[in-house]
Amino acid sequence: MSELTHMPAFVPYAVSAALLCLNLYGLWLYSGLTRNRTRTLINPEDARLLSGRSTVERDPPEVARVLRAHANAMANILPFLILGFLYVLLGAGRTGAVIYFGVFTVARYIHSVAYVAALQPWRTVSYVVGLLASIGLIVQVALRALT
């Protein structure tokens, strides 16, 4: 493990991974707060436990939006973390790691806020920026693995 932590790209990766996990937990927490505000639950056992709440077949639009933002974040962050870890293991430099991980992390935070708040074109722009960082990592990982 100490070999890994001494790799130049490890610290930027670790910071990015922690911040991206915080983003996911933040969206998860916000979905719960939004459910609380709308006083709606999907599961009957939750409604029995928390009296005064109603169960619904489908989430209200504001809850559904937060859940879609969370699903989108999961679908993009998980592959990025795997690619990022491979990038570190393949001996990436610190500067490249700071750029790729930093750009992706900032883009995902902007995307999460823009998704929940329905802010276009920020949602699309931040998604594309994060996607380009991911594509850059794919290329870097492939090139490093093949050489």
Structure-token match 């870097």, residue found: 140
How much is the mean pLDDT over the chain? 94
* CATH number for the domain whose boundaries are 2-146: 1.20.120.550
pLDDT of 112 strictly over 90: yes
State residue 1's pLDDT score: 62
Distance of CA 68 to the CA centre of its chain: 12
**Domain residue limits, the chain:** 2-146
pLDDT of 86 strictly over 90: yes
The continuous run of DSSP H or E covering 2 comes out as: helix 2-5
State residue 92's pLDDT score: 95
- How many residues are there in the chain? 147
Mean pLDDT computed over 1-30: 94
State residue 34's pLDDT score: 93
State residue 55's pLDDT score: 77
Residue-wise pLDDT tens digits, 113-126:
999 999 999 999 99
The full DSSP string for 73-104 is HHHHHHHHHHHHHHHHHTT--HHHHHHHHHHH
Mean pLDDT computed over 64-88: 98
pLDDT of 44 strictly over 90: no
Handedness of CA 79, 130, 147, 7 (dihedral sign): negative
pTM above 0.85, yes or no: yes
